[in-house]
């Protein structure tokens, strides 16, 4: 069994107290990773002291070139990374491509944005303003890169994309990164960093990797540092109140849970293009990555008049989904990432079933291509609640697996908005309708509760990847339960790593400075 090493202070180093990483389909041990005994304070100092200055010396365009080289490196090793994601992540090949290609696409997008920013090393924020009757007394906002380190703590479900979406933005801004992947699926992120180090794609200290538990990493954060976290609400809440974070006002971004909803409009008759588009997106989100996507549709709001039809149509489409070892040909859905995720999902299904009834599937499934009793499998499960039911668990408990609940509603936009808002803040929700008035009412009602809203019209059915795909040019994050964070969004994402500073003084001096 190989021992994964961290890359800290410019060298590979093995930590103690390792945990074993397994193939979640077969439970075969694959590697071990531990962070015990590592000097994480020194690791952060090295990133700040070596990586920070090296990146700040570069222009945005030059940093963009680094990102382009990173994307190229990932593409050159695409097959190898996909194989690793199949083995260590339980991904089907299609799931693994989604992760690895998503990572490369995000890096490429930010490389392009860097090119567009050209020779600058800081950003000018808005127009200058006159601060007195005399135009000589002038004000101007700038965004300058912070002098600290960006610590990235990632969830297990997207080891490649999760790494890249955070690293691309921080590196383009000019901040060195210490990336900590979730331990259970760390092999992909570990290999990516290994590839980047082998290629010397980045200056020394610009990218460090910590495998294994977080140890005391976050206890050494200082006032110029930032933490971008993706994972459960509980861990996010714990990070926010860490003494070093509070004491030093460390900037924290949390991307957490979400009870994403899809609302079918009353105009989208069964058999229409819009209806089929809606079914396709629900089905994809239930089964892609075995439902382990923070953006997956969990609540399926449909007009009560068509609820039976939607249930039957979804059940028909779920029936041919073969669950099993993703290394085997023909398998459409793999296992969950860990035994504890599987147990959590089973518990979650029981909880949701108390609000209504199970209408398709069962937590137990006979996976193909694995020895009996092996692997962390759960089959796709569809539940349904009564129209008008309170359904407290459906609207408050995220089941991070191939599980969705049909929630019938009257077809009135105000009711759809009220029901979706019970989720107390989400990453993305969607509305499937060709009725402009209905769509507008639902979108405007949902907007304050979400980071992104997907307008599911047949007009974009051919080109859209659906609401579950995070696009680098649009913001990712959401209020409340979703963590209150915001990532990506094109250049908007840079702001997290930059300090906004207001200059006030003589206009000619300021204008010369920012030219």
Residues contributing to the site for ligand NAP (CB under 6 A):
153-157, 180, 182-183, 213-214, 218, 230-232, 235, 238-239, 255-257, 294, 398, 400, 427, 482-483
By beta-carbon proximity to ligand NAP, the closer residue of 233 and 328 is 233
For residue 257, CA distances in Å to 128, 235, 236 come to 40, 11, 10
By beta-carbon proximity to ligand NAP, the closer residue of 153 and 349 is 153
Indicate if 294 belongs to the active site: yes
Burial of 490 (0-12, 13-18, 19+ CB in 10 A): middle
By beta-carbon proximity to ligand NAP, the closer residue of 274 and 295 is 295
- Rounded least distance, CB 33 to ligand NAP, Å: 8
Residue 128, H or E segment: strand 123-130
- Rounded least distance, CB 62 to ligand NAP, Å: 29
By beta-carbon proximity to ligand NAP, the closer residue of 156 and 377 is 156
For residue 321, CA distances in Å to 137, 229, 286, 295, 515 come to 68, 33, 11, 21, 58
Question: Among residues 27, 194, 198, 255, which one is catalytic?
Answer: 255
Q: Which residues make Cβ contacts (< 8 Å) with residue 116, sequence separation at least 6? A: none
How is residue 465 annotated by DSSP?
A: -
Q: Give Cα 457 distance to the centre of its chain.
A: 24
Largest CA distance in the chain: 82
By three-state DSSP, how is residue 34 classified? coil
- Rounded least distance, CB 58 to ligand NAP, Å: 28
- Rounded least distance, CB 132 to ligand NAP, Å: 45
- Rounded least distance, CB 345 to ligand NAP, Å: 11
- Rounded least distance, CB 47 to ligand NAP, Å: 17
For residue 148, CA distances in Å to 43, 85, 87, 317, 499 come to 12, 32, 36, 50, 11
Question: Among residues 198, 219, 234, 294, which one is catalytic?
Answer: 294
Q: Which residues make Cβ contacts (< 8 Å) with residue 316, sequence separation at least 6? A: none
Q: Give Cα 108 distance to the centre of its chain.
A: 17
For 388, list phi and psi in degrees, rounded to 5: 80, 0
Which residue has the CB atom at the shortest distance from ligand NAP?
231
By beta-carbon proximity to ligand NAP, the closer residue of 63 and 450 is 450
By beta-carbon proximity to ligand NAP, the closer residue of 214 and 505 is 214
Q: How many helices (H) and strands (E) does the chain have?
A: 15, 22
Between CA 167 and CA 474, with CA 110 as vertex, the angle to 5 degrees is 95
Q: Which residues are catalytic?
A: 255, 294
């Amino acid at each position: 069994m190989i021992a994964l090493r961290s890359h800290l202070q410019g060298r590979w180093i093995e930590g103690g107290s390792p945990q074993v990483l397994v193939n979640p389909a077969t439970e075969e041990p694959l590697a071990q990773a531990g962070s015990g005994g590592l000097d994480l304070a020194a690791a952060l100092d090295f990133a700040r002291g070596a990586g920070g200055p090296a990146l700040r010396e570069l222009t945005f365009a030059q940093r963009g070139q680094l990102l382009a080289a990173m994307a190229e490196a990932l593409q050159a090793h695409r097959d190898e990374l996909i194989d690793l994601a199949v083995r260590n992540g339980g991904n089907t090949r299609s799931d693994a491509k989604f992760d690895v290609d998503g990572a490369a696409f995000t890096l490429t997008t930010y490389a392009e944005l860097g090119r567009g920013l050209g020779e600058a090393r800081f950003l000018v924020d808005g127009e200058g303003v006159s601060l007195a009757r005399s135009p000589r007394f002038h004000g101007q906002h700038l965004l300058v890169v912070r002098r600290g380190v960006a610590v990235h703590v990632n969830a297990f479900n997207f080891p490649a994309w999760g790494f890249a979406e955070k690293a691309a933005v921080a590196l383009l801004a000019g901040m060195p990164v210490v990336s900590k992947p979730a331990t259970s699926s760390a092999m992909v992120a570990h290999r990516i960093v290994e590839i980047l180090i082998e290629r010397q794609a980045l200056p020394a200290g610009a990218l460090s990797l910590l495998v294994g538990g977080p140890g005391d990493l976050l206890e050494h954060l200082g006032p110029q540092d930032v933490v971008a976290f993706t994972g459960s609400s509980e861990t996010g809440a714990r990070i926010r109140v860490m003494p070093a974070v509070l004491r030093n006002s460390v900037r924290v971004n949390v991307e957490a849970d979400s009870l994403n909803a899809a609302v079918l409009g009353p105009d989208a008759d069964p058999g229409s293009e819009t209806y089929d588009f809606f079914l396709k997106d629900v089905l994809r989100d239930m089964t892609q990555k075995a439902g382990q996507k923070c953006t997956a549709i969990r609540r399926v709001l449909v007009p009560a008049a068509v609820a039976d039809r939607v249930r039957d149509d979804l059940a028909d489409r779920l029936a041919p989904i073969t669950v099993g070892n993703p290394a085997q040909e023909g398998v459409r859905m793999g296992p969950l990432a860990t035994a504890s995720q599987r147990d959590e999902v089973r518990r979650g299904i029981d909880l949701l079933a108390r609000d209504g009834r199970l209408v398709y599937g069962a937590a137990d499934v006979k996976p193909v291509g694995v020895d009996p009793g092996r692997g962390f499998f759960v089959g796709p499960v569809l539940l349904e609640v009564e129209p008008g039911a309170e359904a407290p668990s459906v609207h408050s408990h995220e089941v991070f697996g191939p599980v969705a609940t049909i929630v019938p509603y009257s077809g009135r936009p105000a009711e759809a908005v009220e029901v979706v808002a019970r989720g107390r803040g989400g990453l993305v929700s969607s509305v499937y309708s060709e009725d402009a008035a209905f769509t507008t009412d639902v979108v405007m009602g949902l907007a304050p509760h979400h980071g992104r809203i997907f307008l599911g019209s047949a007009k974009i059915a051919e080109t859209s990847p659906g609401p579950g795909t995070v696009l680098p040019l649009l913001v990712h994050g959401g209020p409340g339960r979703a963590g209150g964070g915001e990532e990506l969004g094109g250049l908007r994402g840079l702001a997290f790593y930059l300090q906004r500073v207001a200059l006030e003084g003589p206009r000619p001096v300021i204008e010369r400075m920012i030219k």
